[in-house]
Structure 1
Amino acid sequence: MQKSFKIMVLGLILGFVLGFPLGINFGRDEPLLSNPFDNRSVAQRMGDKLKRKTGQLIEGARDTLHDATRDNDK
């Protein structure tokens, strides 16, 4: 009984220590393994987010163009 209680408490502590920073990054829409306590300005965060979203948009447009210009005689 005592041993299982210790294991449960240890699991809760480990879960909190690992889950808290991951939850902060998830809420900020940042990469999960980045520093959750990084104090970047709003302009820096928006710039990084804009670069990431623009890259995704360009990749999507490239894939769409590639699909549209592919030979359809299969």
Structure 2
Amino acid sequence: MDEMPQRIAPSTDRTAAARLLGCAPHDVGYCPRCQGLTHRYGRHAQIICPACRAAQAPPGEPPASTSTASAQPPNSPRR
């Protein structure tokens, strides 16, 4: 069974948090829900931290993917 992601405390060093999150230190920022550290800026950023995303997922479902979704629905016309 998968473990639930843990919140990264805001007192954690940015470089250490970046290693845990798989991003650059300058891409690390605060989660607006829990104020923990998350991959907030840059490519593939997630504003909500992995712990908050996992907590909001319904029981029995895997946590939300870390990939970013397209801004347009699949059936919308491209401009």
Measured against the shorter chain, the TM-score band is under 0.3
Task: Point out the structure with the larger strand share.
Answer: 2
Give the TM-score of the pair, scaled to structure 2: 0.27
Task: Point out the structure with the larger helix share.
Answer: 1
Q: Which structure is richer in relative contact order (CA contacts within 8 A, separation 6 or more)?
A: 2
Structure index of larger Rg: 1
